[in-house]
Amino acid sequence: LALPIHIDNALDFNALIQQVHQTLKAAKAHQDLPFDKLVDALKLQRDPSRHPLFQMMFALEQFKNNSDDSSQQLFTPVDESQVKALHKVAKFDISLLLQNG
């Protein structure tokens, strides 16, 4: 689902996640619209060097918060040694995949 997210540099990461969550909830009403029809309806100028709808991909997989403590941080700091580069060529300007476990 392609979402229009405008990143405010004043937001911390948790606030950004909340903003994305609200945008996602609003976008789900249109999730059945086929991708090619969306691109056509938006009348986007085509550039074969770029994806027609987005330049950043964020995926969160297998995430489950079993805590009843709402004060617990949703994400904890990550050391750069924990980050693996899976691709040598970029598919998008920014691509981030988070997995628990």
Residues forming a β-bridge with 59: 97
Nearest alpha carbon to residue 2 among 52, 62, 61: 52
- pTM of the full structure: 0.41
CA contacts within 13 A on the Cβ side of 86: 7
The one-letter code for the residue type at 32 is D
Amino acid 42: pLDDT? 80
pLDDT values of the chain reduced to their tens digit, one per residue, 101 residues: 667 788 888 989 889 888 888 888 888 887 788 877 877 888 877 777 777 667 777 777 765 556 555 555 566 666 766 666 666 666 667 777 777 65
Report the pLDDT value the prediction gives residue 71, as an integer from 0 to 100.
Answer: 55
Cβ atoms 68, 30 nearer than 8 A: no
